[in-house]
Every structure is written in structure tokens, then in C-alpha cells.
Chains A and B, each alone.
Chain A
Amino acid sequence: MLLFALLSYVSPVLPLVLFFIYFKRNNKLELRVVFLYILASFLTNLALSFFENGRTIILHVFTLFEYSFFAFFFYLVIRNRLFRRIIFVLSMIFLVTAIFFIISSAKNKFDSLAASISAILVIVYAIYYFYEQMTDPKMLIIYQSPHFWIATGCLIYLAGTLFLFLFTSEINGNQEDPWWGINNLLDTIKNLFFTIAFVIKRDHTLPQGFEDNGNTNMTEKPF
């Protein structure tokens, strides 16, 4: 379990470094937002190991930051104006309520509800992003887009840890608990996906296997 914890602690370094190495292709607002999120995540991990007493408050703050970064990322990459407005309104409601509950509730307890709701909201945004990509008539390979890898990373991490957040009160906070191992493993996977997003070449040509072989048989339909 400690190995996963260690991996989770050091894995943000990889996307952080690669973001700078490929800065030219990553110099976009949405990717800078992700970079800031990874930096915040890395600093939070460091803070958690230094400040044993303030762990809960650090986690509270990080939950809010995490949600804000992801929501802002999807706000930037989703094209539908109505859905962007929905993201904005939901984010405002969520942040205000979460801050209110954090202030009013017990300060030594992880806010399971806020973390779960934030995970559900981001999952919804990611699914909508994928839906938008699927219905986009433009011919572009989805996995050649850094947004795809970031959305995938978010989705896998948050979907995998949703039940963990929901049942936080039932499991102990010890890093040796296998459940936290899952969190750490998914966090590492998420960082790997973010790394792919930062290094992936934006090649808009079609990959092998997509060449038109002149076969005009139209029996195969996409749906």
C-alpha cells in the first residue's frame, strides 16, 4: 500500500515536468488549468505529510480546488453554451453550499458529501464532453486530443473513487488501508493520463487502417 501512496505522491512530477518540456504545444488556457490542478494536487500531498494536524482542513480546501479546476476545464472545452451556463450555475451553488457546510460542520471530519457531489458533477461534465465529441461532425481522431486524455483521467479517477468518498466514514484514514491504495492507484493513473495529454502530438492526419481503399460498399452503418 505504501508503494501506491509513494507513486501517488511522486506521479504529479511527471506531467509537471513534461508540461514545461512541451510548453509550446501546451500553452493553452485549458491545459494551464490542468497544470495548476496537478501543481495544487502535488502541493496538497506535500502539505498533508507536513501538517498532520490540519489534514482535514487541507482536504476540505483541496476538494473545493479540485472541483473548481475540473469544472473550469470542462467549462473551457465544452462548446454548448447552455451546458456551459449549467456548469457555471451548478459550480456556484456547489461551491457556496460546500463552503457553508465546511465552516458549519465538524472541522476534524472529511466532508464525504461535498467530495461525492463534486465527483458526480465532474463525471456528468466529462460524460457530456464525450457526448459532444461523439456528435461532432468534424473528422478528428478523438484520442489525438489532449482534452480526451484529461477527461478520461478525470472520469476514471472520480468514478473509481466515488464510492470511496461516499463511504469515507466507514473506513479508517490510515494510508495502509487497502481502500486508500485504490485512491492512490487511480490518482497515479490519472496523472499518467494527464502526462499523455501533455505529450501527445496534435496530429490531425488519419492513422493507419483509415485509408480509403476505394471500397464503396455502404452496407456498414455507424449506428
Chain B
Amino acid sequence: MNIIDTIFKFNGGIKADTKKSVSTVRPIKKIKMPKQLILPLRQHVGKVAKLKVNIGEKVLKGQLLAEADGNVSAAIHAPTSGTVASLEKQLIPHPSGLPDYCVTLIPDGKDTWVEKKPINWKKIDRKETIKKISESGIVGLGGATFPTHLKLNNNNEVKTLIVNAAECEPYITCDDMLMREKSAELIEGIRLALHLLGAQNAIIGIEDNKPEAIEKLALLIKNDANISIKIVPTIYPSGDAKRLIYLITGIQIAKGKRSTEYGMQMFNVATIIALYKFIHCGEPSITRIITITGKVRTPNNYEVLFGTPLSDLIIDAGGKASQNGSFIMGGPMMGYKLPSVNVPVTKAMNCVIDAEPEMIENNNPVLPCIRCAKCAEACPVNLQPQELFWFSQSNQFEKAENYNLFDCIECGCCSYVCPSNIPLVQYYRYAKSEIISDRYAKEEADIARERNDFRLERLQREKEERAKKIAERKANTSSDEKSKVIDEKRKAITEALERVKQEGVSEKND
């Protein structure tokens, strides 16, 4: 066993009241089968999954409902056995509050599994295994929902697997509870992930506020020289990938580079357990652990099927699933307000806070920026948030980009410390999405320009070819023949005109 103590502290970050203990007193709970499951077809980064079943079809638990469309996409499986009732636009957990396509599944209550196909990963080639994983629907369960098979399949040689167990955001405890209750699966999963990555050693990066989980994991890896634990201090946002890598290894990942270029790859604990379940048990990604906390009477962690209505969980935890409630998905720092409590649980949903309205509505007056630079001190990415704010609020996007707007991880530390209560991150998100849509428009314009250029070129070519043909024919036919041909043509045209006229008359008469 290895517990490493030396850490490399990053600049900034905040120490907030974590409010985690309320939801860790009870074990992970399951609720009874909901009346219906609503499965959005886009629960991941990348292309929308393609529906593979018909409406009205009976499906078994774990059966493929929608397959990945291309490489950057993820499949969706039936979380239980039942009937596919519909495919329609429904409200999904998305900051826009706009509906998106969802499959509705009515459970039959039998929960019958499709034939499970565990994979003997030690026997077959690892490329083969990774290919199978691309059909598993597993995405990063820390909240980023990036398809996992893409992270396993990379061209760089990976030496170290970093297991992200930091869970730095306040309120969220789903990874903590998962590590306490499924530590054996996690360690097995880490061994599996090491094999798939071709990596030698794994480091579990965990915040010091999870002593129980650390103890359990330490016991399991006592005799394993390849897996070590690194305890990091509880400073938000230690769970951000680049921050955690720096905390553990002291290596800073440069702008625009990936951690794999430095021989490292990172997975969240929940993702590793999902991998374990898929390979060892043949179970695709159909459940996750979610923290329900905040105002509810009994804050708790639940193991839920994807598609479970959030309102069922809120009611079970002793909360009010009312439309007027304020529910935050994710943590208080990076999360967003859900459009309604009537949304399904998705792959990205790690935590829902039944929040006091004050937590969302910024009731403190927003005052002008006094350039105190507290935000710059708090920024864990070493950006200049006050400058970014200035450029974003005045729509000077190019300048904002020059100040590395896209390196901002939207952790919210700047907004948290701002004495003027400026919602800084909201400005950055606004600026980022404006820039991204501009880029997209530019790409589209470039395609249109290219197509227009090609069309003009084609028209020009056709014109030239026609001119050439006419010239050739002119040269070939003598003037006598020519006049004959022209006469014939004229005759044909007048005949045709007569015909059209007559037809037109008869049509009018009709």
C-alpha cells in the first residue's frame, strides 16, 4: 500500500462549507420501480444516439435502445424490461429548459435481463475489449459525459491512471458513498482500466474529507504495489482534471494539450465501476448513484435507473416535488437550475439539490466591479477574471479569447469571492457560447462560399463547352444544310407553340 502525502498546491481555489455529511449517514438506497422511464437520446457529449427499436416493441433489461452514431457518441440501453411507449420531445435536464427527443419505456415489473455477456478481458486483445466498450453506453459519470471508449483508445502511451475520487464540490457525496460501499469493485475496475490503457500504475486522488472511503480502499490495496492513494486537501476545485493532476504529480498540462500527451489518463470512480460492471457482469450503463440533498427531510444517495423521474426521488427523500421548487443539478458552484422537477435522471446527473430560492436567485445587489482582483487570487487556472468580465460584458469577444477565456473551467470561485456579487461565470458562459456560435456560422459560411465558387466554375465550364460544341457544328455543316436545319427547327417550334396554345385554350375551357 502506498499513501503519498506530498502534494503540489495550485493557486487560488476556495474553502467552502462542504455540507457533505448530511447525505452520508444513510447507505445507498434504491426506490421501487417507477411507472415510466424517460430516456433522452442525448445524454452524452457528441452525436445523438440512433433509435434501434420500434414503438410498441417489448424490450428486455439491458437491451440496446439506441446505438452510438459514429465514434463520438454513446449507446442507450433499456434500464428495465418493458414496452417502448413513445419517442417524443420531452423536458430534459438542460440549462435551456428546452425539450429534446426522449424514449418512454413502460416497465413490466419483471425486470428480466437480456442475456448477459461478460468479457474475458484477460484472454482477448485489449483493442477488441475497447471496441466492445464502445457499445456499452458508458460515459464519464463525473458529469462531463464524454464517451469512455474514446478515452481508452488513444495514440499516446499512458503510464499512469489517475482515479478522480476528489469530489470537491460541496453537497455531492455520490462518489464518496460509492467508494465506501463498492470499494472492492472499484479496485478490480482500476486493475481492469490499467490493463485497457496499458498503464503501469494507478493513483487514486481523494480529498481528505473522506476518511472512511480512504480507509476501505487502503485496506484493499495493501498488497498491491501498482495502486496508490494520494490524499489531497479539501480545496475546491481539486476535482478538476488538470488541478488534480497538478496536485498529485506537480505536472501542469499546457494549454491545448491533453493529459495523455504527458502519459496520464483520468477516470472518475463511478466510470470505473461502470466499466467493471460491463466487463465482469456484462451489464451496460443503465444505473448511477445520485445524491439528493438540500431541503429534503432525509438527504440520501440513491442507486437509480436512468430515466427515473426526479420527482420520485425527491418525494422519497421527503421533499416537495412542486413546480415552484428550485432544484439545482450538480453542485452549488457549477450546477444549474433545472427547468422543472419533472425531468428524468440522466447519465450526467450526479446530484440534485432541493434548494432555497436564495441559493439560485442572486438577491444581493450586483454592484460595479471595483477591480479588487479577489477573483484573480481565487482563480485556480491563473486567469484574470476581472479582465474577462470586462471584455465579456462589453461583447469584446476577441479580446476575451486573447485573455484565454476558453481555459476557464467555470468553477465559480471568482463569483463566490466577488464582493460586488457579480455573476462572473454567467458572463463567461455567455461569451463562450457567442464565440462558439460565431465559429460555427463562419464554418457554414466557408462551406457556402466553396459551394458557390464551385457552382460558378461549373456554369462557366458548361458555357465554354457549349460554345465549343456550337463552333464545331458550325464548322462541320455547310451553309445550305445549315439553313435547312434551321428551317426544320423553326417549323418544329411553331408547331409546338400552336399545340401549346390549343392545349391552353382547352384547359381554360375545362
A binds B: no
Residues of chain A whose beta carbon lies under 8 Å from any beta carbon of chain B = none
